[in-house]
């Protein structure tokens, strides 16, 4: 009989140190970035006192404001569309018994998660060029919507699996039509999963660089692209400040998404 203590891998030699090194490698650069965003001088490596001047300078920069506005607009609109499409797909595959080969359709829906993002970016750019699509930030919104659907779909699908289908059946037995059942029973029960998926889609869109870099046109600069342009001239506290703000938004969105996921 295998004891529970025998399954504990912490007895392996050096396991605790390996774990510590892993988390240091993962999070220490982020901590350094945040700390030096409050540096009083332009040095990105030598601490010389606490200051908020780089945040003031970043928020007063018109280019940064325009890039942030573009990022928020793109993320908000693409999140709305991708969440709607993901919800429709989850309900169709989870509740419609007439659809055949659901596993295949589900796999196709999640395929963008397995394809390298650079491949998706090149394919999207090629497609836009072939149809001569030039809608400014509209190009980015379309690309982000398609790319974010799988991220929104997974939490919604997980929530739908936990919803008792007999509740919807009971509503139909009480003479509720399909639309009323969807609006008053299914969607309210799916709300935590929908919100969690929307938060994931929002943060994926807000942070995306590769696809945005490929399909963005003049005047469609987003915050990640602008940060990349600043880094090419050297890392400064201003870059750290903008990156810290973006990191903070990402962390908050992920925490909110996890909180709603736990409510399931």
Residue 10: its H or E element? none
202 Cβ contact partners less than 8 Å away, ≥ 6 residues apart: 75, 76, 79, 253
**Shared domain check, 152 and 71:** yes
* Res. 1 pLDDT band, cuts 50 70 90: very low
Which residue, chain included where needed, has tokens 């965003």? 37
* pTM over 0.75, yes/no: yes
| Count of domains for the chain | 2
Residue 50's pLDDT is what? 83
> Within this chain, do residues 167 and 243 fall inside the same structural domain, yes or no?
yes
* CATH number assigned to the domain comprising residue 220: 1.10.3720.10
Q: How confident is the model over 144-185, as pLDDT tens digits?
A: 999 999 999 988 888 888 777 777 778 776 767 777 777 778
Question: Angle between the 137-162 and 102-114 helix axes, to the nearest 10 degrees?
Answer: 130
84: pLDDT confidence band, cut at 50, 70 and 90? very high
8: left (phi over 0), alpha (psi -120 to 50) or beta: beta
Looking at 54, 79, 96, which one is the last position of a domain? Answer: 54
Mean pLDDT for the chain overall: 82
The neighbour count for residue 99, using CB atoms within 10 Å, is 11
Question: 249 and 202, same structural domain?
Answer: yes
Question: Both 37 and 159 in a single domain?
Answer: no
**Among residues 38, 54, 70, which one ends one of the domains?**
54
| Co-location of 41 and 123 in the same domain | no
Whether residue 133 is found in the same domain as residue 34: no
Residues in a beta bridge with 50: 39
> Quick one: 46 and 112 in the same domain?
no
**Domain, as residue range, for 127:** 61-262
The answer on 256 and 142 residing in a single domain is yes
Q: Which two tokens stand for residue 15?
A: 């396991």
Same domain, 237 and 147: yes
- Mean local confidence (pLDDT), 108-125: 86
Question: Is residue 226 domain-shared with residue 208, that is, in the same domain?
Answer: yes
69 and 19, same structural domain? Answer: no
For residues 124 and 80, membership in a common domain is answered with yes
* C-beta separation of 140 from 216 below 8 A: yes
């Amino acid at each position: 009989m295998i004891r529970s203590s025998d399954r504990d891998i912490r007895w392996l030699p050096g396991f605790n140190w390996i774990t510590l090194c892993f988390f240091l490698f993962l999070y220490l650069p982020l901590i350094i970035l945040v700390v030096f965003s409050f540096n009083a001088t332009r040095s990105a490596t030598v601490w010389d006192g606490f200051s908020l001047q780089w945040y003031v300078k970043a928020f007063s920069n018109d280019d940064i404001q325009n890039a942030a506005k573009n990022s928020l607009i793109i993320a908000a609109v693409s999140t709305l569309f991708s969440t709607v499409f993901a919800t429709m797909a989850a309900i169709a595959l989870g509740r419609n018994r007439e659809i055949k080969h659901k596993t295949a359709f589900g796999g196709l829906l999640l395929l963008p998660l397995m394809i390298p993002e650079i491949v998706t970016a090149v394919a999207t750019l090629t497609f836009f060029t072939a149809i001569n699509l030039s809608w400014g930030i509209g190009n980015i919104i379309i690309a982000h919507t398609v790319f974010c659907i799988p991220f929104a779909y997974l939490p919604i699908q997980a929530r739908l699996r936990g919803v008792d289908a007999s509740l919807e059946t009971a509503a139909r037995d009480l003479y509720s039509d399909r639309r009323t059942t969807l609006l008053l029973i299914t969607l309210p029960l799916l709300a935590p999963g929908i919100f969690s998926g929307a938060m994931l889609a929002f943060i994926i869109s807000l942070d995306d660089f590769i696809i945005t870099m490929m399909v963005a046109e003049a005047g469609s600069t987003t915050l990640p692209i602008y940060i990349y342009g600043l880094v090419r001239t050297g890392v400064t506290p201003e870059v750290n400040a903008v990156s810290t703000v973006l990191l903070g938004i990402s962390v908050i969105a992920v925490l909110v998404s996890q909180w709603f996921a736990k409510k399931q």
